[in-house]
Amino acid sequence: MKRVGIIGTGIMGTDHARLLTSSVSGARVAGVHDLDPVRAAEVALASGGARVFGNPYELIVDDDIDAVLVASSDDTHEEYVLACINAGKPVLCEKPLAPTVEACGRILDAEDKSGTRLVSVGFMRRFDPGYTQMKRMLQLGEIGAPLILHCVHRNPAAVPGLPGAAVITNSAVHELDITRWLLDEEIIEVSVHAPRATSHGGGTPDPQILLLRTASGAVADVEVFVNARYGYDVRAELVGELGTVTLDGPPPTVLRRSGMDGRALPADWRPRFAEAYRLELQDWVDGTGGAATAWDGFAATFVAQACVRALETGTAQPVALPPMPELYR
């Protein structure tokens, strides 16, 4: 039985604690830390009486904690993940691995020097049954060589005045990771286009269109729209030389409005990817190794920052990742 310590009991930390307690085999929540001790105590109680730690570093090094799940604020990820590496404990860190390329690089270097893969990053879409089926069909040669990937990522609402960069780093980053994972190659050039902004964004450049070119010449286009109002909607279509495979494809003509498109749409990402989160946690507990690695977390942040530069400058940006360390090959 793997004893898991959770750092951060906001939306994601609480959901992970619930899944580990009710839906994931071979693990239990053994420790909880949050800046809000009342919140931590509530989650600990709901998890079967887990221990509440007042200090996150004490949780990480405690002998009764086998593995750590980091779901705290983005700016704390680096320090907690590094502490887990130093303690020799597996850690699942919610995305982003860290907010900057430099911070991700320090994590990458520390894990590489340890000689052991300890870090997993919470890009849960890799476990979504729809995406895994798309990848399987591509690998089986059902659609031939991939040429174009179309992606749609729409949220009902975001914080008014959200910076344009945050649309990329908080939302579109999922598509950056899934593009690398589906096509099994790196992104080498990006551009970002901001059409007329919605009146619901409070000044946010939203929606945005990202164009991603991969090493083989395939292109992914990503529409990210964080104030779409009508519901949470994620779709994708992979176009190959012999055919296409579509994730959640609608009928030819559909009106989407007020939470409906002829069916109920979820209000946010959690119901849509509930099974993906469960499978991700089970994979992590089992040590199967299907999750995104520290290298994947580094690459996602690296590409996201190039997209931010493209948005700010209005010009295409090259993406030149450093060589992948041998540990991740």
DSSP 259-305: TBSSSB--SSHHHHTHHHHHHHHHHHHHT---SEEHHHHHHHHHHHH
Cβ–Cβ under 8 Å, residues 41 and 53: no
Number of residues that make up the chain: 329
| 208 shares a domain with 84 | no
| 85 shares a domain with 222 | no
pLDDT at 253 over 70: no
Domain final residue, candidates 77, 108, 125: 125
What pairing do the DSSP bridges indicate for beta strands 219-225 and 119-122?
A: unpaired
Number of domains in the chain: 2
As a whole number of angstroms, the distance between CA 85 and CA 91 comes to 8
Cα dihedral: 58, 62, 65, 71 (round 10): 10
pLDDT tens-digit series, residues 95-154: 999 999 999 999 999 999 999 999 999 999 999 999 999 999 999 999 999 999 999 999
pLDDT at 159 over 70: yes
329 domain-assigned: no
93 domain-assigned: yes
Backbone angles phi, psi at 98, to 5 degrees: -160, 160
pLDDT band, very low/low/confident/very high, at 254 (cuts 50, 70, 90): very low
pLDDT at 283 over 50: yes
Beta bridge partners of 246: 237
**What share of the chain has pLDDT > 70, as a percent?**
95
pLDDT at 261 over 60: no
| 252 shares a domain with 171 | yes
- Reduce the DSSP state of residue 175 to 3 states and report it: helix
| 169 shares a domain with 40 | no
Domain final residue, candidates 69, 96, 125: 125
284 domain-assigned: no
CATH code for position 89: 3.40.50.720
Residue with tokens 């908080």: 170
| 183 shares a domain with 197 | yes
| 131 shares a domain with 44 | no
Alpha helices (H) in 140-183, listed in sequence order: 164-166, 173-183
- Reduce the DSSP state of residue 225 to 3 states and report it: strand
pLDDT band, very low/low/confident/very high, at 215 (cuts 50, 70, 90): very high
279 domain-assigned: no
pLDDT tens-digit series, residues 36-66: 999 999 999 999 999 999 999 999 999 999 9
pLDDT band, very low/low/confident/very high, at 266 (cuts 50, 70, 90): confident
As a whole number of angstroms, the distance between CA 68 and CA 90 comes to 6
311 domain-assigned: yes
Beta bridge partners of 221: 150, 211
Q: Which of 72, 55, 100, 61 is nearest to 16 (CA)?
A: 72
pTM for this predicted structure? 0.94
Greater confidence (246 vs 43) lies with 43
| 75 shares a domain with 196 | no
What local confidence, expressed as pLDDT, does residue 256 receive?
52
287 domain-assigned: no
328 domain-assigned: no
Per-chain mean pLDDT for the chain: 94
Domain final residue, candidates 107, 125, 143: 125
Beta strands in the chain (DSSP E): 2-7, 27-33, 51-52, 67-70, 91-94, 119-122, 146-154, 187-193, 208-214, 219-225, 233-240, 244-247, 292-293, 317-318
| 312 shares a domain with 253 | yes
pLDDT band, very low/low/confident/very high, at 229 (cuts 50, 70, 90): very high
| 121 shares a domain with 132 | no
| 134 shares a domain with 232 | yes
CATH code for position 186: 3.30.360.10
Question: Structural domain of residue 83, as residue ranges?
Answer: 2-125
pLDDT band, very low/low/confident/very high, at 161 (cuts 50, 70, 90): confident
| 195 shares a domain with 238 | yes
| 180 shares a domain with 309 | yes
218 domain-assigned: yes
What local confidence, expressed as pLDDT, does residue 258 receive?
60
